[in-house]
Amino acid sequence: MNFPKKRMRRLRKNKNLRNLVQKIRLNKNDVLYPIFVKEGIEEKKEIRSMKNQYHYPINGLDSIVSLCEDNDLQGVLLFGVPSNKDQKGSSAFDDNGIVQRAVRRIKEISNLAVFTDICLCQYTSHGHCGILDQNGVNNDKTLEILNKIAVSHAEAGADFVAPSGMMDGQVKSIRGALDEKGYQNTGIMAYSAKFSSNFYGPFRDAAECSPGGEKTNLSNRDTYQMDFKTEASQQPMEEIRLDLEQGADITMVKPALPYLDVIKEAKDRFNAPVAAYNVSGEYAMLKSAINEGLLSEKVIEESLISIKRAGADIIITYFAKELIKDGRI
Ligand code: PBG
């Protein structure tokens, strides 16, 4: 019999050999954990659409913050769920708003890097990521509000602000506002290549930010987020290029798993850290299949490794908690 000279199985013969040749490993330095802080609750409460994820009141944050810090995670990404919403999202730039207070508390009790989401959708009565006028979401009017939110988060002590609204020019505008107020050292992680995705459903439930509501016939975010039929090399790369040019320190692709080609292309083309957001729908799919016994928990590691293999430097994932709890990273 004519055996092949090259036998790939030699590399897989035992665990030690496999360990020696496996090069992509998840690491505690790779992940950023998203946390929801909510006004008007007394105790942490599980989010219906995202099992094992919680809404936290300010006075209920300490335990999750220590869990992250004691397990050597590097940082968290904060989302606020306010009690009051209006047409222009005023509660988003309130100095005593939910995110501003959460940042102060986390900074008081830990050394975690604090990133804050900068967007209007949780704070507007219509659930859109910007101010509405008769033509839809008004880009340039929205920028003024994003500036105020970013400055108030920086004032509270955020290390990085993360604009996610997909308004044109938002990075330049926020960079200018931060610099003007003396926050040159506050960084920007731009949600640059953000798709109008169907994988955000559980998050919208958690953050109470589904678009629609009163006085709007816009029931989705298609006029500002990218179409998922867009080619990787076109709009996503241009969005990233523009954001980096405008001063973004970290760029982001979102969602992650359905867009691994976009992550890879971004990593190959640009000399900047690339973050990938493993979003709520990606979490919920695996979580429910695991809970139903259809899939092994190992799918968590396998899917996060695929995001790393594609080139992500930072993975934003709700699974961070599972990973550290079970000592898997
Ligand atoms: C707000 C925002 C969204 C997510 C992060 N920031 C929702 C949206 O754009 O509708 C989604 C995150 C997730 O699904 O985990 N603009």
Average pLDDT over residues 155-173: 98
Question: What backbone phi and psi angles, to 5 degrees, belong to 170?
Answer: -65, -30
Residue 217 has pLDDT above 70, yes or no: no
Cβ of 76 less than 6 Å from ligand 1: no
| Mutational pocket test of ligand 1: of 81, 115, 119, the residue with most ligand atoms within 8 Å of the beta carbon | 119
Identity at 65, one-letter amino acid code: V
Query: Is 294 exposed, middle or buried, given 0-12, 13-18 or 19+ CB atoms closer than 10 A?
Result: exposed
Percentage of the chain lying above the pLDDT 90 cut: 91
Query: Is 296 exposed, middle or buried, given 0-12, 13-18 or 19+ CB atoms closer than 10 A?
Result: exposed
- How far is C-alpha 305 from the geometric centre of its chain's CA atoms? 17
- Assess whether the previous peptide bond of 255 is cis (omega < 30° from 0): yes
Percentage of the chain lying above the pLDDT 70 cut: 98
Clarify whether 13 is annotated catalytic: no
pLDDT band with cut points at 50, 70 and 90 for residue 329: confident
Residue/partner pairs of 293-298 with CB below 8 Å, 24 or more apart: 297/322, 297/326
Closest ligand 1 atom, residue 199 Cα: 14
**Positive or negative: CA dihedral 218, 221, 224, 226:** negative
Ligand 1 centre distance from Cα of residue 204 (Å): 7
Q: Pick the catalytic residue from 38, 194, 287, 321.
A: 194
Cβ of 280 less than 6 Å from ligand 1: yes
Cβ of 121 less than 6 Å from ligand 1: yes
Residue 25 to residue 309: CA distance in whole angstroms: 9
Greater model confidence, 135 or 317: 317
Identity at 328, one-letter amino acid code: R
Residue 130 to residue 123: CA distance in whole angstroms: 10
Cβ of 312 less than 6 Å from ligand 1: no
Please report the pLDDT score of residue 71 as a whole number. Answer: 96
Greater model confidence, 9 or 327: 9
Clarify whether 6 is annotated catalytic: no
Here the tokens at position 9 are: 């199985």
Residue 183 has pLDDT above 90, yes or no: yes
**pTM to 2 decimal places:** 0.96
Q: Give the 3-state secondary structure of residue 163.
A: strand
Average pLDDT over residues 190-214: 91
pLDDT band with cut points at 50, 70 and 90 for residue 214: low
Average pLDDT over residues 273-282: 98
Q: Give the 3-state secondary structure of residue 41.
A: coil
| Residue with CA nearest ligand 1 atom 5 | 164
Residue 2 has pLDDT above 80, yes or no: no
Map 256-289 to HEC letters. Answer: CHHHHHHHHHHHHHCCCCEEEEECHHHHHHHHHH
| Residue with CA nearest ligand 1 atom 12 | 279
Cβ of 224 less than 6 Å from ligand 1: no
Question: What backbone phi and psi angles, to 5 degrees, belong to 5?
Answer: -70, -40
Cβ of 129 less than 6 Å from ligand 1: yes
Ligand 1 centre distance from Cα of residue 209 (Å): 9
| Residue with CA nearest ligand 1 atom 14 | 200
Mean pLDDT estimate for the chain: 95
Ligand 1 centre distance from Cα of residue 169 (Å): 19
Please name the residue that has the structure tokens 């959708």: 121
Residue pLDDT, tens place only, 283-318: 999 999 999 999 999 999 999 999 999 999 999 999
| Residue with CA nearest ligand 1 atom 2 | 164
Here the tokens at position 26 are: 């998840």
Cβ of 204 less than 6 Å from ligand 1: yes
Closest ligand 1 atom, residue 211 Cα: 10
Residue 162 has pLDDT above 80, yes or no: yes
Cβ pair 73, 200 in contact under 8 A:
no
Cβ of 170 less than 6 Å from ligand 1: no
Q: If phi over 0 gives left and psi between -120 and 50 gives alpha, with beta otherwise, what is residue 52?
A: left
Residue pLDDT, tens place only, 76-122: 999 999 999 999 899 999 999 999 999 999 999 999 999 999 999 99
Residue 199 to residue 247: CA distance in whole angstroms: 28
Cβ of 200 less than 6 Å from ligand 1: yes
pLDDT band with cut points at 50, 70 and 90 for residue 326: confident
